[in-house]
Amino acid sequence: MAKSGSIKSNSWRYDSYSNSVHVQLDWNTVSQDKVKKTSTIYWQLKVGGMPYSASWYVFYNSKVVINGSVVHSSSYYGKAYNGTVLASGNTTITHNADGTKSVPISIEAGAYWSGTYNLKGTGTAVLDKIHTTPPVIYDGGVTVSGQNQALLGNSLYGVQNVHAVNIYVSAYGRDGATIRNFNVAFQGNTYNSQSVSAKITKSGSLPVTVTVTDDRGNQTTKTIATVISRSYASPKLQNFSVKRYTNSIEDPMGPTLRAVGYLEITAVKDASGQNINAPHWKIGDDGKTRRSLSISFTKARVPITRSENWTITYGDQFSTISTVVSTPKGEPAFVIGKKSVGIGTIPESNAEGLWLNPSRINGYDFIKYISLYTAPGEVSSGDYIGVVKKYWDSKVPTGISIAHIYASTQGVAIIHKYTGGNHGSVLMFGYNNTPMKSYRYNSGSWLQTG
């Protein structure tokens, strides 16, 4: 291998008194493209062999063939002296797959001085090797991290949608090459980075495949690890309820609150095939963590006038969820307050008016809040019983068709169901010193009765 060289033709002299002459091709490597695997050489075809500067020959029919291609051909040059360059140029040559290249070269020219002679020569230029040895990728460099990953018993095991894979690619180029690009393929995604962290979103065997490219374009692809991902779904709280009890008997007026339900969790196997998932839960200010699938929690002596907000925290080895539930107040048959009446429920503190649970009057649904547009002198028909309050500020609830009330004031009305369009009544209670008004429905019209 060389960066330069010469190829010389045979020599000729006309007689013993004349000077001998030859032609030669000098070449040298100008550049190498390590990605395209090519070398560019500069060459010169010149005259040699004549020791005196005044000596000359006439040259014609010169030709240069490099690597099978004619790079120069001329039928006549003229008078030439020692060192005269007959032709020159650059030629780019592609190397073999292994990076080596031996380039065949042939030269020829005709010389004349009191006679003619053909000068010819052949040779080979052995170019410096362009190394094509692919880079080396090391195994490993992959771990799985996240909540309780160690329970799985192997650093390459993970849980779907819980754990993350951490990848660091170790590789080096050979024969002086350097790594130019890293490409990591995982779960159908590709990352152009030496270091990758990605959430595990699939289950099963998940290969980590790496491709590295050096600065000469040489590539190596290798699967450096396979992650085993266990299928997983978040815990679910099933059939959960909080009710009041008296002496273990369900009682809406009981002083004891009891929460019941159960947890649904996914079985997760470790590297040896053993299920390592387990439940946990705690409720309210109790602070005690239980580790069972079934939920049973009791709190005694809770006044029937009080509703509590309980934070329920539940989960398994790989995730935890919190939710808040409101416990029920007592449900007495009838309660009379200073400014309120409760039927089947206890009104809020300082509440006013009628409170119902369930919300029905005479067996018909009772709508608590309906606002009204005002349209003097008109009360529209309605199909259900309801309490009307404030102005109309939203769409009419399903089943309610009352849309107007007499006079441009705020008020409250109790609407009794009417049938067949023949009878019915509305009581409107005054607001802001507006007196109570009452209406009845007769033959398609609402008539004020008081």
Per-residue pLDDT of 33-61, as tens digits, reads 988 899 999 999 999 887 666 678 888 99
Average of per-residue pLDDT values in the chain: 81
Q: How far apart are CA 329 and CA 335, in angstroms?
A: 13
For residue 76, the model assigns a pLDDT of 86
Q: Are both 48 and 143 inside the same structural domain?
A: no
Q: How far apart are CA 66 and CA 71, in angstroms?
A: 7
Chain centroid to Cα 269, Å, comes to 26
Q: Are both 43 and 154 inside the same structural domain?
A: no
Residue range 307-316: average pLDDT? 94
Residue range 397-402: average pLDDT? 37
Q: Are both 8 and 92 inside the same structural domain?
A: yes
Question: Which class for 395: exposed (0-12), middle (13-18), buried (19 or more C-beta within 10 A)?
Answer: exposed
Q: Which of 347, 340, 398, 403 is nearest to 371 (CA)?
A: 403
Contacts of residue 112, Cβ cutoff 8 Å, sequence gap at least 6? 57, 58, 59, 60
Q: Of 304, 326, 348, which residue constitutes the final position of a domain?
A: 326
Q: Quick check: is 187 in a domain? A: yes
Q: Decide: 13 and 194 in contact? Cβ < 8 Å.
A: no
For 355-386, write each residue's pLDDT tens digit: 777 666 555 554 433 333 333 333 444 333 33
Name the CA radius of gyration of the chain, rounded: 49
In this predicted model, which residue has the larger pLDDT, 20 or 261? Answer: 261
Q: Quick check: is 393 in a domain? A: yes
Residue range 16-42: average pLDDT? 88
Structure tokens, 125:
């230029």
Question: Which class for 154: exposed (0-12), middle (13-18), buried (19 or more C-beta within 10 A)?
Answer: middle
Question: Cis before residue 358, ω within 30 degrees of 0?
Answer: yes
Predicted confidence band of residue 128 (pLDDT cuts 50, 70, 90): very high
State the total domains in the chain.
4
In this predicted model, which residue has the larger pLDDT, 338 or 322? Answer: 322
Q: Are both 16 and 112 inside the same structural domain?
A: yes
Q: For residue 339, how many other CB atoms are within 10 A of its CB?
A: 9
Q: Are both 155 and 85 inside the same structural domain?
A: no
Q: Are both 25 and 111 inside the same structural domain?
A: yes
Q: Are both 201 and 309 inside the same structural domain?
A: no
Q: Quick check: is 353 in a domain? A: no
CATH number at residue 298: 2.60.40
Q: Quick check: is 259 in a domain? A: yes
Q: Are both 367 and 436 inside the same structural domain?
A: yes
Mean pLDDT is highest, among 64-68, 73-77, 429-433, for 64-68
In this predicted model, which residue has the larger pLDDT, 424 or 323? Answer: 323
φ, ψ for residue 151 (rounded to 5)?
Answer: -65, -20
Q: Decide: 177 and 209 in contact? Cβ < 8 Å.
A: no
Structure tokens, 72:
């120069």
Q: How far apart are CA 316 and CA 15, in angstroms?
A: 106
pTM listed for this prediction: 0.61
Paired with 440 in beta bridges are: 425, 447
Q: Are both 58 and 122 inside the same structural domain?
A: yes
Q: Quick check: is 337 in a domain? A: no
Could you tell me the residue range of the domain that residue 175 belongs to?
Answer: 136-230
Q: How far apart are CA 223 and CA 183, in angstroms?
A: 12
In this predicted model, which residue has the larger pLDDT, 95 or 344? Answer: 95
For residue 5, the model assigns a pLDDT of 94
Q: Are both 37 and 112 inside the same structural domain?
A: yes
φ, ψ for residue 188 (rounded to 5)?
Answer: 85, 0
Q: Are both 13 and 120 inside the same structural domain?
A: yes
CATH number at residue 221: 2.60.40.10
Q: Are both 206 and 151 inside the same structural domain?
A: yes
Q: Quick check: is 367 in a domain? A: yes
Q: Of 230, 261, 279, which residue constitutes the final position of a domain?
A: 230
Q: Quick check: is 346 in a domain? A: no
Q: Of 126, 154, 178, which residue constitutes the final position of a domain?
A: 126
Q: Quick check: is 342 in a domain? A: no
Q: How far apart are CA 77 and CA 88, in angstroms?
A: 13
Q: How far apart are CA 199 and CA 58, in angstroms?
A: 80
CA angle, 415 then 420 then 422, to 5°: 70
